[in-house]
Amino acid sequence: MAKITLDNLAHSYLPKPVTEDDFALKELNLDWSDGEAYALLGASGCGKSTLLNIISGLLHPSQGRILFDDKDMTMAPTTQRNIAQVFQFPVVYDTMTVRDNLAFPLRNRGADPAYIQTRVQQIAAMIGMEDTLNRKARGLTADAKQKISLGRGMVREDVNALLFDEPLTVIDPHMKWELRTQLKSLHHEFGHTMIYVTHDQTEALTFADKVVVMYDGRVVQMGTPQELFETPEHTFVGYFIGSPGMNLMDADVKGDKAVIGGVEIALGKGFGTPTGKVELGVRPEFTSLQAGDSGLPVTIKRVEDVGRHKIVRTDFQGTEINVIAPEGGEISPDMNRIVFDTAGVNVYSDSWRVAPKVA
Ligand code: ADP
Ligand code: MG
């Protein structure tokens, strides 16, 4: 197992990239700690597979280095990296039995036959395929073949890292949950470094210790689920994570005051004088409705009861501001002001979070 370091890494699929737009992966520096479970989260096309394939060696980066425990592996072939990778769609040997498919990575490395026998049995139990071990893979459903691919990815105990690229796409919803749980327990048992790619925030937040959020070829934040919730470093993290996502409002910020649509509010801490496009970001969990005449005047558009709480959708001068209100609380017509809990107020300048000034 190894710590993985990406040093000044960038990748373009073009032979002669010129502008930043030519790069599928913009320059990044990142450390992946040994033994941690990561989720790589972002919308389709943001560069997740590109990044994963560079780590496994399927792709050589056009710029920068990749290190395993400080050893330069940038040009090392996949075989030397000792990494198991599972893809979105099944990769199985059709003419082999399920058993031989699962045993393949172990036989390839000359493992002891008795060990192979036991280990294959364990893995078959994890993916729920003990009864089909002697069947040929040909003719199995896509779902079953993908489970074999997953099993093959998990069979070796001595890998540096396990990479999963949206592995549950073709798996039926019930089995998805089951397999994700298995992956988590595999992580607890063996402590491999794991990187799990997904575009689904729930999947990312339930699987990983740390989530790496990508947007438009850039890693915009690596953090615990709590950090992504409390201090999104980029507005994308704010609105991509959460349901509903973070409220964003254009604002003029000076010190500890903001003016939003002509209304001044207190921020609770100082932010200097941010420049560029300045926005206030406040999650619906830190936003509440009240009667009276302080706060932002809004119109209530809709109240959604989602069980644990209510989501109140309001309009402030054409901008939607969402509020999460307690399940039992009454929403009366005179509650037409929005106030923010200053603990949850973030300020953004050109989409990036401005650190509050320490008093
Ligand atoms: P994701 O896995 O997040 O959906 P990808 O890493 O597959 O994103 O793609 C990132 C960007 O690189 C996309 O704009 C995609 O079209 C482009 N891209 C991916 N693979 C290739 C390739 N082999 N050749 C050229 N462009 C590619
Ligand atoms: Mg992809």
What's the pLDDT tens digit per position in 335-353?
Answer: 999 999 999 999 999 999 9
Q: What pLDDT, in 10s, does the model give residues 175-229?
A: 888 888 888 888 888 888 999 999 999 999 988 999 999 999 999 999 999 999 9
Q: What is the pLDDT of residue 186?
A: 82
> Ligand 2 centre and the CA of 48: distance in Å?
6
Give CATH 3.40.50.300 domain extents, the chain: 4-233
Q: Please state which CATH class domain 4-233 belongs to.
A: alpha beta
> Ligand 2 centre and the CA of 24: distance in Å?
12
Q: What is the pLDDT of residue 188?
A: 84
Mean pLDDT over each residue of the chain, to the nearest integer: 94
**Percent of residues, the chain, with pLDDT higher than 70:** 99
Please give the model's pTM, rounded to 2 decimal places: 0.93
CATH 3.40.50.920 for domain 243-354: no
Above 80 in pLDDT, residue 358? no
> Ligand 2 centre and the CA of 49: distance in Å?
4
3-state secondary structure the chain: CCCEEEEEEEECCCCCCCCHHHCCEEEEEEEECCCCEEEEECCCCCCHHHHHHHHHCCCCCCEEEEEECCEECCCCCHHHHCEEEECCCCCCCCCCEHHHHHHHHHHHCCCCHHHHHHHHHHHHHHCCCHHHCCCECCCCCHHHHHHHHHHHHHCCCCCCEEEEECCCCCCCHHHHHHHHHHHHHHHHHHCCEEEEEECCHHHHHHHCCEEEEEECCEEEEEECHHHHHHCCCEHHHHHHCCCCCCEEEECEEECCEEEECCEEEECCCCCCCCCCCEEEEECHHHEEEECCCCCEECEEEEEEECCCEEEEEEEECCEEEEEEEECCCCCCCCCCEEEECHHHEEEEECCEEECCCCC
Give CATH 2.40.50.140 domain extents, the chain: 243-354
Ligand 1 atom with the smallest distance to the CA of 44 is: 4
